[in-house]
Structure 1
Amino acid sequence: MPSLPRRLTALALASACALTAASCTATPAPRSQGRTTVTFWTMPFWIGHPEELHKLVSDFNVSQGKVTVELTVLDWQSGRDRIKQAVLAGTGPDVWLSNNGLEDDYLNGRHLAPLDELGYTTEDLARFLPMAKVNEHEGRLYGAPLYFDAAVLFYRTDILRKYGHPAPPTTWAELKSTATAITTRSAASGKRISGWQFKGMDDHLNAVNATWSTFLCQAGGSLTSPDFRTSTQNTEAGRTAMNYMKSFYADRTSQEGLSALKGFVDGEVAMFSFYQSAISDIVAGNEKTLGRWAVAPMPTGPRSGCSAVGGHSLVARSGLPDPGAAGSFMRWLASPRHSTRFMEFHGIYPYDTSRTDPETKVVVDSFYRTDPTWAAVSEQFARNTPDLLLQDRHAFAVRWESHKSAVPDGVAGRTGVDQALALIDERVDRKLRPAG
């Protein structure tokens, strides 16, 4: 595989901020009288080059004279919770980084400003891809997408070829048979390679949410009922998905605890699936991975070839005294021009290029033309719909935590499949339909 393309030179801040700390604030630009200050809280979403985010905010502050953005970077472990607690308490930032799909606690509590009240025009909103519907509520958009993610298949071309599989699997049956053959034959030769690992069954438990949503969707399942009032995972589709996942551990094709990503980089895992942004981590493996891996669309399940969709958006707090100031920053950072920057870490471009200016379209097309991974990512993204994210926003936090415990327990056989699925539904339903 080619190394990750860099279209623009990374520039470090004059005074660096330690991103491993709980939080840090960028030095604001000098203020003039009447200048509005906008506070922006975010996690370091610029994968591999977090200093670029500081540079962009600094560029915005220098570019105009009416708004100053004060940047606070939070860590991924606690950032979402800190933002949510502050916003719900009325002490939060003016603008913050949100997951695509948003959360019902923000929407139902009227904590978010719709984009049209922040200065977005009808023409601005029409430029977004149809997938931007994931940020829609009651007919209005509340989040400006920075980029999208889609879960794809990563496979080691060298390992698959060695064991007689020149092409990646395209169905669940092929995925299981290929993975089992690689695990069995490699173990017999004295160096066991896991043919497949489910991301989230390792040291990255948060990833189980994307993994589970992908396989549940492919089995024809959903997270909630169409009215979003009932959790619907303890169903035939849920059992099909979890039993399929469990089969990899029941016959020792996969092993719990082995890191899918690290094992892949080290040549100990032949295949795994996760969001395409993991490409940056794989490329960082340098000689361990160079020319030894590729990306493919997900193998299709019994009902479809869909996968989890993610990514991030900018949102703003409702009731701001100067909503236009927050909107001007959002329209700048999440603009068609600046969103091309996020393609450097393989964020999926959120705009319809036929509605952008020609120069921006040339930049976007250059990514697609020069990096072969984009073909598979684009094909997978086209298979997906907004449905899962629209369902996931309801009782998001409860479901997120429930998946992290119940899915690994059911897949690993520590609890029964029906018990694991029933536990998810029970916990989520308590949030969706509180007593009284």
Structure 2
Amino acid sequence: MADTSVRDTAKDGSVKDGPVKNGPVRNGPAADGTAPRDGGPGHLVLDGLAKVYPGKDGAAVRGVDLAVERGRMLAVLGPSGCGKSTTLRMIAGLVAPSSGRVRVDGHDITDAPPHRRDMGVVFQSYALFPHLDVARNIAFGLEMRKIPKADVKRRVDDALSLVRLGHLAGRRIGRLSGGQQQRVALARALVVEPAVLLLDEPLSNLDAQLRSAMRDEICRIQRETGVTTVFVTHDQQEALSMADGVAVMNQGRIEQVGTPEDIYERPARPFVARFVGRANLLDGTAGAHDGDRTLVELPGLGRVSAAGDGVDQGRTATVMLRPHRIALAPATPGSGGGARGTVLSAGYAGETVAYRVRVGDEGPVLDVERPTGTQESFGPGARVQLSWDPEAPRLVSAGSASDSSSDSAGESPS
């Protein structure tokens, strides 16, 4: 997944673009009734979208700029209270923005009511009608639009086939499993052939095994329909495994937008490195530049060459080392150079063993992950040698690792 579903507008005004997937997408009329237009910076565009709730400290959403290309899937990822669900509800028209605009196919729909936006929404609770069977739940939106009965039946049958629930068309909602209810909610959102599909924490009510299966189902359905999709989640595994692009939010702002690989391997800020996966973030002093790398003097670890945007010599720089990129070996008299340390703890986690290692006597404590069953294990108190691939260190910020906190307490509800 090397391309991105979003166009990330940088502070300097440059735009990072990505190709568009092929696939049939309904190009319906705009909310104002005029014909849609193609082109523009994206199929769905948010321009400076913000929300301030009266009586609350600070803004729930602070000037979000995003663009999603046609047929792509964007995950909005962040902790509880960061503003991601509020952003989704503003897109859907369920919450009025304090400022900013929402555009689809170049048309401004900011002031359009929800039923005029040509969008399908799947809520966290699914919001199905328990007194109706599966087929009637799916047909509800079509019936409200006064679609002819013959067309309703055909489109409901197609939607049931898409989500593989044709054999349950007459079953009541209360007799369905969580995964089946999830698929009914998806079918109801898709049967109206929306221009944009919005998913609000769609898998949060499912158990771990079912979540994995439903990830695959949602991706399959999105590929087959080609509908432009935005889903919000606090689950990084969902975002990285399902989406073409990821927007990481923190305290109402977008911290970074990019492909899943960009977000994980090349985080632009300490918050992103800390929130997406596990990371050792180490503050040091920037030295000379060596091509696209910067030499950083790290306490206890010595001089490390880190890739990323350069930092002026003598400035504080933050270096990221992912735990799984660090190797451990017994510290013996004949072992080579590099850092030495002492294992503080070792925790078995199924596929991996998670270590905490103190570098030297008073150096930093590093998280280290190693696969189980393939390498020598170490217990607390063991003396070890630490090493890593020269390409592993990554420069994530020109400031302190403590500058960006993962704590979003005090924000308005997400």
Greater strand percent: which structure? 2
Bucket of the pairwise TM-score, normalised by the shorter protein? under 0.3
Higher relative contact order (CA 8 A, sep 6+): 1
**TM-score, normalization: structure 1?**
0.23
Greater helix percent: which structure? 1
Which structure has the greater CA radius of gyration? 2
**TM-score, normalization: structure 2?**
0.24
